Copies of this chain bind each other. A is one copy, B any other.
Amino acid sequence: MNEVRLFEIVDQPIIIEDLIHKVASREVGAITTFIGTVREFTGGKKTLFLEYQAYQTMAEKMLSKIGEEIKEKWPDAMVAITHRIGKLDIMDIAVVIAVSSPHRKTAYEANEYAIERIKEIVPIWKKEHWEDGTEWVGNQLETVRYPAGRPIEEGELK
């Protein structure tokens, strides 16, 4: 039997079925997936494509940590997460989270927990490419941006 890698950063298209197979079993009755896709418009601005970068080894380690946190909170849940990096076009899949459980409530809750934690602790960055420029997006809760070159006051984001 091949080793199943539950938490991966890849630079190729993500096959959703692969993640579902990783968490499926005779014991589970519910599997949820979250599929994050590249949206064309954000805040009225048209994205041409995105570029994702990761601190790969640490990112996989943090994804595993999220898996452990979920195991702690929902012992009967099983989780697999794959995040893609590199250039992604509109409608491409950036991330897939699959969670299985004997019970559906757990499958929904643990899945949502996973995406929230990814946006907090996993070292992955996204660069927007628009017609009129580019920008590395992000803060931990995705509420502000910091255009490269714009002076940001010290402490502003602390």
Contact = CB atoms under 8 A, between A and B. Distances in A.
Given A33-B33, A91-B24, A39 B102 contact: yes
Interface stretch (A62-70, A107-115, A143-151): A107-115
Contacts of A107: 34
Interface string A16-39: 110010001111111111111111
A91 B28 CA distance: 8
Interface residues of A, number: 30
Contacts of A102: 39
A104 B26 contact: no
Number of this chain's copies in the assembly equals 2
| Secondary structure type dominating chain A contacts | mixed
A32 B35 CA distance: 6
Interface in A108-124: 108, 111-112, 115
A17 B20 CA distance: 11
A150 B98 CA distance: 40
30 contacts: A16-B16, A16-B17, A17-B17, A20-B35, A26-B39, A26-B40, A26-B90, A26-B91, A27-B39, A27-B41, A28-B37, A28-B39, A29-B36, A29-B37, A29-B39, A30-B34, A30-B35, A30-B36, A30-B37, A31-B34, A31-B35, A31-B37, A32-B32, A32-B33, A32-B34, A32-B111, A34-B107, A36-B104, A104-B112, A104-B115
Interface of A: 16-17, 20, 24-41, 90-91, 102, 104, 107-108, 111-112, 115
